[in-house]
Structure 1
Amino acid sequence: MRSIAATLVRDSSIVFLLLVFFAVVAPRSARAADCSAGTLVTVVAHLDDDLLFVDPAINERLDAGWCITTVHLIGGANGADFAYVQTRERASRLAYARMAGVPDEWLESNIAIAGKLIHQMVLKSKPQVRLLEFRLPGGGVRGGREPLGLLWEQSATLSTYPMNADGSTRVQYDRASLSATLKVILAQASQIFTLNPDTVPFIEHPDHIYAARITRRVAQTLGKSVPIEYHITYPTGDWPANLPAAEVQRKRDIVASYFAIDGNEYSHVFGEYQWNGNWVARRYAFADRTDHPLADSQAHPVQLFNAASNRCLSSNGAGREPTLAACTDARTQQWRWQPLAVYPGNARNAALVSVATSQCIAEHDGFLIAETCDEWDTAQRWTPWDFGLVYTPLRHCLGENDGKLAMRGCTSLTTRYRWATTQRTQATDLRLATAMYGDIAGHGEQSAVYVQRRHDGPGFDVYAASLSKAARPVLCYANPVPFDYRSTTPSCADDKLCFDSLRFVLGDFDGNGRADLMVIAARRGGTAFWLLRNAGNRFEAPRLWLQTSSALKPELTQQYVAADFTGTGRASVLIAQKRADSGLDLWLASATGSTRAAPALWAQARNLRQNTHFLPVHVEGSRASLVALDSSDGRLAFTPIANDGAHLLVGERSMLPARFVPEFVKATIGALHGKDSDALILLTPHLDSASDDAVIDIATVDLAGTANAPVQVATLRGMSWSDVFPALVRDNGNPALVLYRRTDATLGDFYFTGGSAALLRYPIGDGFALGTAQDLGELPGLFSETLRIDRLAQ
């Protein structure tokens, strides 16, 4: 017995000495970093959460000289083996090395923090970058056992994945020990980032929610005030992109490097339609401080917005069925997902409660009805799902059909069954554009030109589609940009043209009767205009047409507009740049022959809003002018802007009727009948009746008239306003309305905005009588892959 006891004592001493070694010696490489600028501690659940939902905020702190410590609580994913944990950590190391711009070489060790071993990875060339891996087991995104929730709410003890590469040494955590360990890590923070604690599964991943709640609760025990930011995750996938172009481009490189290891595939990262590409261009967060004793909130009011119908779910009182109605700020359209008493990870975990009535929506015999809430009534147990689906208590999917609520099985669903928690979504983002229109062949016939995002890297392809017949679009220019997932240099350096950081205009810049493509990018502190000349059946390789000084920057330019502003038969580019005080400066970049001068200031439009949308008025044989649409205080207005050949003269602003809600107006402009009949054309969703199928109203404003009052002229049925982008074109003198649209295609589980793109052409007769629609067929690629930022603000 004595020898056994001696052996145990000796082994215990060795373990203790090893713990001391890891706690004291191993961290020295991390402490060697200069953290005087600050220390950011980011705590997330999974090894991609920080890259997808928090960055580029981490990147910004690193660029500013901060030390960054990122904590991953979960190892691998739900049910994954240890090999996958190691794969994800290898992917994370590669991504952070790329973020830091140094070789992917790390110091790995197990260190003791508050008596618990944690796997630490420190970047050799930049030791202020440190990753800490708890390697706890994870839960399922769609329900099932939720280990982190069981630890936090049910006093469970969890065993981690192994800490050693040989599969040995697991660590046990309960709520107290996890809190104590995390507190030591957070104590060094100058700032804390984490995920969103204030929602319910499965709006966001249960692991995300518990990781954030644990972080917030522990941070509140630090005894000091530290700024803390909470990042919304899955729901942002169909919210408007809100990151600057340069940050999007850099983030896409980093995330693609990660998924080149985790999954051996990164094409979805360069897309904007499914899986991880959904979050690259977005970062949404709300800020607080650790000394603010804020409790976990699970019931923030939300809207339930159906993008196909452009309507919101509305309560009609006790004993009545909810319906779809035009979105307002009324309390009848405010809802809470009220958490129910369920075991962590269980589905059917929330009641759908009206803020106006405090009634719960129940499902009985295929019908929905508002009734008194009963926590234990299975007819009131819903499952909110993070990718836009809503599961009813009887496991149907909630949707819209013919303007009414519908419920059906949850397979082969279209966008009619996708919901958002706000009506401000990508589907209502008026900054976006699709096709451009011009005479490609030089024969007086218009074509649609659109840019398609590539999936093999950050490049793009350009297609031209006929508007006179249904024909497969022609690839006019291919612009592949190679992506090397192991590189530490940006993919888009050295004048490479990358989709996310570009804007496009179409115009006849050579004066030969054929439309050319102009690609606009930031370069050398200013703006570069790259001309892709029209060679008849293709666009030539880009040539630098103009380089501006730092006085003109794309990140300050609200919009670029191509038109013949000089009356020379050649297109110029209007540059509408935001002023430092208010309004916009209007510059003109033009060319005469091969000579191009620096852009000239043509107007100081201080009274225009910085969210202005400029529409060119093309006057045959004369100089183009403009109409400006802008909005303030919920009202839409238009302003004519005349062109005297040397200046742009801003006219009087005219308010449109209140029924033209700025967020729900798509506009185009053109000459309906002859050169003196320019009209502004406004498309709005028809929302007066909840019983109508998707209807789009069309109104015109006669710019040559004196009343300037919109006149209702036509309606379009069977198409969602969210899914169409209008243009007025003239083919050999005949006007036509062209719709670049998304078809009502079946979407996969992780799609927000996919679907096929197609073209419809309506000839226009007297009184804006629309002729029979000509279906020009579907286009190569996905609708959402051809959406591009055209303006900075809407």
Structure 2
Amino acid sequence: MQDDDLAGVEGEREKSARDARRVRVTRRGLIIGGLALAGLGGGALLVRQLRRSGGPVGAWTPLQSIAPPATPTELSPAFEAPGIDTAMTIWAHADDDIIFANPGLADSIAAGATVRAVYVTAGDAGKGLEYAQEREAGIRAAYDLMRGATGEWDERELTLLSGARVTRFVPADEPRLSITVLRLPDGGLDAKGFTATGHAGLTQLINGDATELVPIDGGPAYDLPRLTATLAELMAAARPRRVSTNVPHESAFAQGDHPDHSCVGSLVRASAPAVGLEAEAMSYYLGYPSQDQPVNVAGDVLDAKVEVYRTYAADDPVVRCQEASACLAQPGFGEWLRRTYPKSEAELRLS
């Protein structure tokens, strides 16, 4: 989930005959308190009318098939010793997991599982590296809450066999957990990217409209073969028993989802067989369209899930919510937090 064009309007009553309106950038093009037209990042103006009580709807863009990468044959600099019930989670944005895959993620961490998280895009909304790093700080705080400890996270850059450069964060006191970020530019809710990053994102890369994507931290550029090779290398390095990711573009459940979500799901699905991960090891989580499913997270479980999200949001200035009730009142987010729907390969309703 990402902050590419959420906007809200707060009206202020004035004694004069005219109303003064202050447009407050919040998140995902959602409209709070009225109809808003707002631009995020690079001066881009995204005009979108969304249901006041509902969540955003992502643009549906045809996506070309993705060629699988070669099987990695060398030990990667990203290698991490496997632990108990090693799980890997690979997402488009830093918060997709805590919104769409919890409480399963928190349960795994509480049970002592080894969890290797990867975020493919920076979720920057064209707003730059500083904003992306705020989101990264938020997800580390959320992981601290789920693991029940706070402490320093070691940070280091890794240059992979694929030629990619990634940043990895590991709690100094708990190496069974790690977060790896690729920081590719996010593609926006309309799949057209942002002015600040050349209107290029995963959709353009997969479809051949962009030959490469440059990470927003200035790392080496990714062409499509480098990206799939990087994902395969990271999976091989983690040696997971199971992998969780976004629903792929080929699934009927991807209709209306954020384009970056379905791109990442398709990239992971195409890359996983290269490292021997069979379909049974994969779980694909519904994103935006989960709000159309029955509520299945409630009571104390919902309270805990919302607290993890609220902890993340404290570092994300465009979605910050002080109280659980305010988090649940956010259009779209409140519905997603009340639901979680993993799908197996057989349940994806592939086209």
Tell me whether the two structures share a fold, i.e. TM-score over 0.5: yes
* 1:296 Cα offset (Å): 9.2
Q: Which residue of 2 aligns with 1:721?
A: none
Larger RCO (alpha carbons 8 Å, 6+ apart): 2
Match of 1:227 in 2: 281
In the alignment, what sits opposite 1:186?
Answer: 235
2:260 aligned residue (201, 207, 212): 207
Gaps of at least 5 residues in structure 1 are: 1-22, 163-168, 299-794
Residue 221 of structure 2 corresponds to which residue in structure 1? 172
Q: In structure 2, how many angstroms separate the alpha carbons of the residues matched to 1:200 and 1:236?
A: 9
Alignment partner of 1:243: what SS? coil
Q: Give the Cα separation in 1 of the matches to 2:265 and 2:202.
A: 11
1:428-478 deviation line (CA, Å, top 9, x unaligned)? xxxxxxxxxxxxxxxxxxxxxxxxxxxxxxxxxxxxxxxxxxxxxxxxxxx
* Local SS of the residue matching 2:282: strand
8 Å CA contact 1:136, 1:160 repeated in 2? yes
Q: Which runs of 4+ in 1 moved over 3 A?
A: 199-202, 267-270, 294-298
Aligned length: 260
CA contact (8 A) 2:191 2:201 kept: no
Report deviation, 1:171: 1.9
SS in 2 for 1:159: coil
Shift of 1:143: 4.3
Q: Distance in 1 between matches of 2:103 and 2:305?
A: 6
Distance (whole Å) between structure 1 residues aligned to residue 169 and residue 96 of structure 2: 17
Paired position in structure 1 for 2:152? 105
Which of 162, 166, 191 lines up with 1:118 in the alignment?
166
Indicate which of 105, 125, 150 corresponds to 1:78.
125
Give the CA deviation at 1:263: 1.8
Cα distance in 2, alignment partners of residues 296 and 179 from structure 1: 23
**Contact 2:158–2:168 (CA under 8 A) maintained in structure 1:** yes
Question: 1:58 — aligned with what?
Answer: 105
**Aligned CA-pair RMSD:** 2.5
Distance 1:37 1:285 in 2: 22
- Cα distance in 2 for partners of 1:119, 1:296 equals 35
State the Cα distance separating 1:201 from its structure 2 match: 7.0
CA drift of 1:276 comes to 2.1
State whether structure 2 residue 89 is matched by structure 1 residue 42. Answer: yes
Check 1:110–1:205 CA distance in 2 against 1; reply closer, same or farther (3 A cut): same
Aligned 8 A contact 1:94 1:104 in 2 = no
How far apart are residue 112 of structure 1 and its match? Answer: 2.2
Shift of 1:243: 2.3
Spell out the pairing of 1:657-668 with structure 2 (5 A cutoff): none
Distance 2:241 2:159 in 1: 22
Structure 2 Cα separation of the partners of residues 218 and 296 of structure 1: 20
Aligned CA distance change for structure 1 residues 157 and 186 (closer, same or farther; 3 Å): same
Q: 1:278 aligns with which of 314, 318, 335?
A: 335
- Cα pair 2:164 2:219 within 8 Å, conserved: no
- The superposition leaves residues 29-84 of structure 1 with CA deviations (integer Å, 9 ceiling, x where unpaired) of x54xxx43221111110111111011221112222221101110010333121111
- Maintained 8 Å contact 2:191/2:203: no
Aligned partners of 2:211 and 2:341: how far apart in 1?
32
Structure-2 separation of matches of 1:56 and 1:272: 19
Does the CA-based 8 Å contact 1:200-1:209 persist in structure 2? no
For 1:36 and 1:118, the matched residues in 2 are separated by 22
Task: Assess, with a 3 A threshold, how the Cα gap between structure 1 residues 86 and 224 changes in structure 2: closer, same or farther.
Answer: closer
Q: Secondary structure at the match of 1:65?
A: coil
Output the amino acid matched with 2:310: A
Q: Report the secondary structure of 1:172's partner residue.
A: coil
Show the 5 A alignment for 1:283-362.
283-288=340-345, 297-298=350-351
- Tell me by how many angstroms 1:269 deviates: 5.3
Please say if residues 125 and 188 of structure 2, whose CA atoms lie closer than 8 Å, have aligned partners that are also in contact: yes
Residue number in structure 2 paired with 1:260: 314
**Cα distance change of structure 1 residues 212 and 296 upon mapping to structure 2, 3 Å threshold:** farther
Question: How far has the Cα of 1:128 moved from its partner?
Answer: 0.9
Q: Does 1:135 align with 2:186?
A: no
The verdict on how the C-alpha distance between 1:287 and 1:297 changes in structure 2, with shifts beyond 3 A counting, is: closer
SS in 2 for 1:249: helix
* Corresponding residue of 2:139: 92
Q: Structure 1 CA distance, aligned partners of 2:122 and 2:107?
A: 26
Return the alpha-carbon distance in structure 2 between the equivalents of residues 58 and 200 of structure 1.
21
* 2:247–2:254 contact (8 Å) kept in structure 1: no
- Which structure features the higher share of helix residues? 2
Tell whether the 8 Å contact from 2:241 to 2:281 is kept in structure 1 after alignment: yes
How far is 1:186 from its partner? 1.5
3-state DSSP of counterpart to 1:173: coil
TM-score scaled by structure 2?
0.68
Q: CA deviation at 1:285?
A: 1.6
Offset from partner CA, 1:406-441 (integer Å, 9 cap, x none): xxxxxxxxxxxxxxxxxxxxxxxxxxxxxxxxxxxx
Change beyond 3 A, Cα 1:202–1:227: closer
Does the CA-based 8 Å contact 1:142-1:202 persist in structure 2? Answer: no
Q: Which has the larger radius of gyration?
A: 1
Please give the residue correspondences for 1:418-433 in structure 2 after superposition, counting only pairs within 5 Å. none
DSSP-derived class of the 1:216 partner: helix
Could you tell me the percent identity over the aligned residues?
26
Cα separation, 2, equivalents of 1:36 and 1:93? 20
How far, CA to CA, are the matches of 1:235 and 1:296 in structure 2?
A: 14
Residue 65 and residue 171 in structure 1: after superposition, are their counterparts in 2 closer, same or farther (change >3 A)?
same
Provide the secondary structure at the position in 1 that maps to 2:87: strand
Over residues 576-635 of structure 1, what are the superposed CA-to-partner deviations in whole Å (9 max), with x where a residue is unaligned? xxxxxxxxxxxxxxxxxxxxxxxxxxxxxxxxxxxxxxxxxxxxxxxxxxxxxxxxxxxx
Structure 2 equivalent of residue 522 of structure 1 = none
Whether the 8 Å contact between 1:213 and 1:296 is mirrored in structure 2 is no
Alignment of 1:635-646 (within 5 A): none
Q: 1:196 maps to which residue?
A: 247
Q: Is the 8 A contact 1:44 1:50 kept in 2?
A: yes
CA contact (8 A) 2:290 2:341 kept: yes
Equivalent residue letter for 2:244: F
- d(CA) in 1 for partners of 2:84, 2:216: 34
The 3-state SS of whatever aligns with 1:158 is coil
Distance in 1 of aligned mates of 2:301 and 2:223: 39
